[in-house]
Every structure is written in structure tokens, then in C-alpha cells.
Structure 1
């Protein structure tokens, strides 16, 4: 069933196998309503065999039309049969005219959309983040969807999908937003529809992005702290090694405070070191 403004189409269809399980015969009966209070009604029947149109009946013309050699031959008999004409009139009343009130009620039918936002792509280097705003299961199909950043409407980096029919009277539509996240900002998707007394605003929860930023910052802090500790330890190690392993003329220089045994002579090379004379007894 489909609807466009005040023009409605009601479809009844049967689908059955003939000859074999691979051959199918289909009959579609349609009621088309137009005009004020749906007074103008056109009833039609379309028959198909294996998806090939065979013949069609139209109440406005009041006859059958064939589209193949066989169906053209058959329609000659059907158009000449007065009982077939009465049968079509009865079907029009039963399927179309008796359902006028039900069809008119569809003109006032509205269904509010279900709106959701999700992240499709994380920001990665030079690539911005990508958000998706979706509106599902709404009727009628007229709808407006916009993005806002800190309550200001965004037009750049915005893309829309085609309006998609679900096949069960309802529609869906999707919108995409490319943006570079900023800490503390608010991203929202606003939907306006006939079923809503006021615009429906859905706010994107960017706590996941914030958590990731915090994790990166904490990781960098630990990395810097580790680098400082390693560098300090290396410098301390080099100083200690230099103090204990300095080489001078004729002997090894060591700190004075570590020497208290006989056979050690004072070296004038440094006020803080003495020379061990290896030639003395």
C-alpha cells in the first residue's frame, strides 16, 4: 500500500504455482483513490506469469487488455462475457468502495520516528570522526533532519541518504556528519516531523571519545615519567662510575675518604684524590 498526498493505492495480491514448482502465476488487484473524499476510484487487475505481464483489467476502460498472443485471444472472450463484467463490478465494491473510510483514515495517520546516533568512524590523524543519525519507522514521509554543534546548526560536512521506504507504510532516512571532536562540545541531531509536537533533539554521548582522550593523556604522562626516571638513573650511574674509575698518571685515582691503608701517597693532581704508589713496599 502506498500513499502520495491524497492519492492512495490499495493492492491485493495472490501468488501461486502452476504447472511446476518453478512456474508462478500472480494476480494483483489494485484500488486507486483520488479526488475529494476519495470519490474517484479506479479498480484494476494485473495478471503475470513468471513475472511477465499477461493481461490487465481497468474499471475506467471497463475491459481487459492482453499483452501476449495467448492473452489477447483470451481477453476477447472475457470482454464479451457479461458475467465477467458483473464480477468485476462486485470486486470493485467489495475491495475498493467498502474500504473508503479505512483509506481516508490513513490521511490522518502519523507515526513518530525513532531517532538514534552512533559513531561510525573514530578520528584518526587527518581523518575526522563520522557520526550517523538515523530516523526509523515514521509516517508520512515528509521529514527534516539537521545537525547542531553547541546549539548552532551545522551545514558543512553533512550528508543525507535517500528517503527509504520499508515496504510496510513506514520510512527511514539517515544523515552523516564529519567533524573533528573538541573536548566539552555538544553534538546533537534534530528531527522535525508531523507526528511531533516539537522537534526531537537527540544528543550524541561523546563520553567514549573523552575517555579515550583521557587514556591517551595518562599514557603520555606515564611515558614521560618513565623517560625522566631512566634518564636520571643513567646520569647517576655515569657520575658514580666516573668517580670510581678515573685514571691518572702512574696510578689509579680514588676518593680520599675511601683510602686509609699505608702505602698510599697524596697526589697533587687533585685535592680530592690520592695516588697509590705501587713501587713502595
Structure 2
């Protein structure tokens, strides 16, 4: 909302308001209201959707009739709205490319993991997210999605697919949006998540330590053997 305040020569306090209303998700679909208020009384306003002035007091009605009869004034008002919309579209472009991410949420041993394909901060709202298994589209009844509005004309969407690792299987997420010249495809990396890598690292460390101790013991045994000190096994006398 933009406003200007000033005093008229005859001492009246006048306020000019420029109000902007979004009537939908399209930045083009914006209604401008220019309102003149004198001493807290609405005198006249202009509606960009109607491209007409409307008076609410005797002087406002008279002034509105004069302005509506002047095609130059009405044309200037239309140009003013277009200029405003051009500024609006500078900050909210016709299309904003989504940022796409692919992740996995591991579940228990008895339940499959969940793959999530997320697209963030895109515009317009229309978007298509599909899953591919070995290049073939996964039926929609095997997936689920949720779409959210960010509240700033941007959107986000999350698509889910239950996933059980299968050798040789290739899982991909394909995102289609008007901001893309071609669909964006993300392939799921079959490498294990951090928790699983940690388990393997710990197991590998234990294995390495076991090998180190075995080698050290063997070297010690061979060294004593070459120096003439043989290890004699301990035996218990027979009963």
C-alpha cells in the first residue's frame, strides 16, 4: 500500500491510497485501487479492473464524471497499471526453476525405506513429479505426494516412493516444469546412507585390527623361532 498525505489550500487533509489486491496466483491478475480520502471521508476511487473512477461525495461524483469522460486520463491509468505490473513481475518472474533434491529415509529391517523427491521454490504451481524404475514410469498408486504453498507465490512439492534395494535396479525421479527446457531427472545413488557407512567403517576397523594383531603375533613367533627359542606347548599330565 502506497499513500500520500497533504493539506489542500482550503485546509482539508487529503490522503491518496494506492491499494493492490491479488485475485489469484497469477501476478498478472492484480487489481489496483486508487482511493482519495478527505478528512477521513472517502471521496473517489479508481478501479483498474473496471478502468473507471467512482465518486462517493458530490465533489467526488462530479470529478469522476469528468475523468471518465477523458480518454487520455483512462489510457494513462491503464499505462500506469502496466508499469506497476512490470515492476511486480520483476520480483515475481513468470516462471521460477525449482531446486530438486533426492533423499532416503531408512526404516527398520522389516519395512522398506522411503525415497523422497523434493522440489522447492518454483513458480507457477503446475508441476509433474514421477518416479522411474529402470526407465519405466512407476504407477501413481504406488507413490504419494504433498504440495505446499510457501506464501510468497512460490511452491514446494514432495513425492514419496517405498524402496527396497534390489541388485541391478535403477531408481530415478523425473521433474517436469515450465521453467525447464527439458525434464530434469535425478538418479538415486545406490551408495549406503551415512548410518550404514558408519556400521561398515566400524566393522572394517575391527577387521583391520584383528589382522594387525594376527600379523604381529606371527612375526613374533617367527622371530623367536629363528633365534632358537621354540615355543613349547603346555600339556597336562595324563591322569
- Residue 188 of structure 2 corresponds to residue 192 of structure 1: no
Question: Unaligned stretches of 5+ in structure 2?
Answer: 5-16, 37-43, 211-234
Aligned to 2:80: 95
Describe the shift of the 1:115–1:183 C-alpha distance in structure 2 as closer, same or farther (beyond 3 A). Answer: same
8 Å contact from structure 2 (residues 147, 155) kept in 1: no
- 147, 159, 164: which one aligns with 1:162: 147
Residue by residue, what CA displacement relative to the aligned partner does 1:104-147 show, whole Å, maximum 9, x if unpaired?
999x944432211122x212133321222111233333221101
Quote the offset at 1:80 in angstroms: 2.8
Which consecutive unaligned segments of at least 5 residues does structure 1 have? 1-12, 17-25, 33-37, 48-54, 65-74, 227-242, 245-253, 256-272, 274-281
Q: Is the 8 A contact 2:132 2:172 kept in 1?
A: yes
Residue in 2 that maps onto 1:176: 160
Q: Specify whether residues 58 and 197 from structure 1 end up closer, same or farther in structure 2 by C-alpha distance, changes over 3 A only.
A: closer
Larger Rg: 1
Structure number with the bigger relative contact order (C-alpha 8 A, sep ≥ 6) is 2
> Aligned to 1:212, what secondary structure does the other structure show?
helix
Q: 1:77 to 1:177 in 2, by over 3 A?
A: farther
Q: Deviations over 1:225-272 (max 9, x none)?
A: x9xxxxxxxxxxxxxxxx96xxxxxxxxx63xxxxxxxxxxxxxxxxx
Structure 2 partner of 1:58: 47
Per the alignment, do residues 15 and 144 of structure 1 end up closer, same or farther by CA in structure 2, a change over 3 Å counting? farther
Report the Cα distance in structure 1 between the residues aligned to 2:185 and 2:30, rounded to whole angstroms. Answer: 41
Q: Would the alpha carbon gap of residues 146 and 85 (structure 1) be closer, same or farther in structure 2, given more than 3 Å must change? A: farther
Deviation at 1:14? 3.7
1:34-90 Cα offsets, whole Å, 9 max, x none, are xxxx9x99643589xxxxxxx9753526426xxxxxxxxxx4457435179749958
- Seen in structure 2, the aligned counterparts of structure 1 residues 216 and 97 have a Cα distance that, compared at 3 Å, is closer
Mapped contact 1:159–1:175 kept (Cα < 8 A): yes
Matched, 1:117 2:106: no
The question of whether the paired residues in 1 share the 8 Å contact of 2:19 and 2:32 is answered with no
1:82 aligns with 2:82: no
Q: Cα distance 1:101–1:217, how it changes in 2: closer, same or farther (>3 A)? A: closer
Q: 1:186 to 1:94 in 2, by over 3 A?
A: same
Cα separation, 2, equivalents of 1:28 and 1:103: 14
| Structure 1 residues 140 and 41, CA gap change in structure 2 (3 angstroms) | closer
TM-score by length of 1: 0.46
* Distance (whole Å) between structure 2 residues aligned to residue 139 and residue 182 of structure 1: 36
Match of 1:150 in 2: 134
Q: The residue matched to 2:101 in structure 1 has which SS? A: strand
Distance 1:27 1:41 in 2: 13
Mark the CA change 1:99 to 1:127 in structure 2 (over 3 Å): closer, same or farther.
same
Alpha-carbon contact 1:189-1:202 (below 8 Å) kept: yes
Aligned equivalents of 2:30, 2:171: Cα separation in 1: 49
